[in-house]
Structure 1
C-alpha cells in the first residue's frame, strides 16, 4: 500500500451577484439563495450567511431567516473549504466512466469506502482524492451513496458542488436505477417485492432489522436468474436505499444471502456434494452481493445513462461449481 500523500487541493473562492425581483417579497434569504444557486446545498448556504459571507444592498446579513422585500442586490463572497482531513493515495481505482461532472467507479470486494477507526487509509475515498484532488472540497469526497466493504460494484461520485447537490436530490427522489446480483440460500420460486421498514435492531444496535413501527420505508424488488440445488441467483432492484437493505430484506423473506456473516445464519452445506463444492461454500465468507447495474440522468445534460459491472470472480467461480453440482445430480 502506498503512503498517504500530503498534497492538498487549493481552496476555491466563490463570488456571485444576484438581484431579488419583486416576487421575492417575503422570502427568507436562505430559501431565495437555494432556489437561485442549486449547485450549493441549503445547509452550506446557511453556513455562509452565518459566517457573514452574504450582503444585501452592501450590508452583511448573518441570519438565514432574514426576509427580502424585493428589489435587493445580493452579493456572495465565500470560500469552498476542504471538507475533511483525508488524503489521497495512489491506489488501484477502476473508473468505469468519467467527465467533468462525475465519476462512476467499480469498487472491488474488501475495499472500505470511507476512512474510519481501524481503516484510516487505503480506502476508496483515499483513492478518489488522489485521482481527483478537487473532491476534497465536497462532502464525503463526492460520494453520493455507498456499499459495504464486502460488497462489490458501481458507485457514483460527484466532482463539483453543483453535481453533488443535483445527484443527491435525484437519489432522494428515487431517480437512480440500482440493480444488484446476489446468491441466496434456498430455492426462490418466483420474483417478488419486499416492502418492509428497516431500522436499528432493538436487540443489537450494531445491526439492522425489519422494524415496522420505528423503521424507515424500504422496498426491494427481486427476480430469479438461475436456481441451483439449494441456492438461487437473483437480481435485486432497490427502490429505496437503507443500510444493509438487500441483506436484511432477503433474510426477512426467508432467503438470506450466501456467506453473509451478519444476516446469513448458519452456513447450509449441500448433501452428497462434491468436496470441491463443499469447500467452496465453506470458504465463501462474505455476502454474495454485487452492485451490477447503475442508471441515472446526467446531472448537467439530462441524458439517461447506464453502466454495468461484471460479476467478481469469486461469485462467477462459485456459481460455476453450483451449476456443475446441479447438473451432476441431474437436478
Structure 2
C-alpha cells in the first residue's frame, strides 16, 4: 500500500468513527419515534411473530394485500435486488430526519423509484414532489429540475413527512396526506370523528385510500414478517420485551451467570470480533443472533460476551472497529 493510500484509508477511518457516534444518537432518536409507529393493522390486540404476518392483518386489509401481491409481487420482488442502492440512500437520509426507514416504500408506490417520472398533476421525481412543495423547501426547478435528484428530493420528502407526522401522529395518515393533501385528511378526521385510517378511509378520495393500502401491501412484500412501524406503541413495547425474554430463555443458567451485555453501534464485523476475543463462532452466534445484519442497518446492538471477555473488548474496541471498517472498504 502506497503512503498516499495509507493516508486515504486513515482519513476515511477517522471520518467513519466520528460519524458513528453521531449516527448512534440519530438511530436512538429514530427508535424512540418508531415506538409510536402506525395505528394497529392487526386483527388481535398484539402481533405474534411466530404466526404468519398476513393471517394477522386486519380483515379490512387482507383482501387488498392479497390482490396487490398477485398483481405486483413479481415486479416488487425484483426491485428488492436492483433497488438496493436507492434503499440504502433512503435509509440514511430518512434516519437523519427521524423518519422510520419503512417510509421509503412511499417512493416505491409513488414512482417505482423512477427519477424522471412526471405525473398528470405535474409531480416529478422519485418522491413525486409538486413544484410549490419543491420551491418551499429550496429545490431549484431550472435549468435542471432538482426533484429528479435522489438525494435532494429525499431530503425534501423527509422534511414534508416530518411536518405531516407532527400534524397527525400516524404514519398511515402521513401517507394519505402525502397523496391527497393534509386538508383532506383533516376534513376526513372531522367527518368521521376518528383518527384511525380504517374508520376515516371512506371520507377520503378512492385514490388516496388505495394509496395507503398499496403502502401496506408494499411494506408486507418487502418486510416479510412486518415491522415495528406497523404496530401501536404498546404492541412495539410488548414485541421488544417478548423478543428479549425469548433470547434469555435460550441461555442456560450458567450462561446467564457468566455472561454480560454492552450496547454498541457501528460497522463491527462478527469475524473480527471473534478473532480479537479468541471466541468460538458457534458460541458467539448463539449469544449474538443477527449481529452483522442489525449493525449494518445502523441499529444499536446488545452484544453479549463472557464476563472475562468484556474488558478485552472495551480495551480493543477501537482496533476492532477499525479492522472491521477496513474489511468493509476492501469489499469482504
State the TM bucket, normalised to the shorter chain. Answer: under 0.3
Greater strand proportion: 1
Give the greater-gyration-radius structure (CA): 1
TM-score by length of 1: 0.22
TM-score by length of 2: 0.21
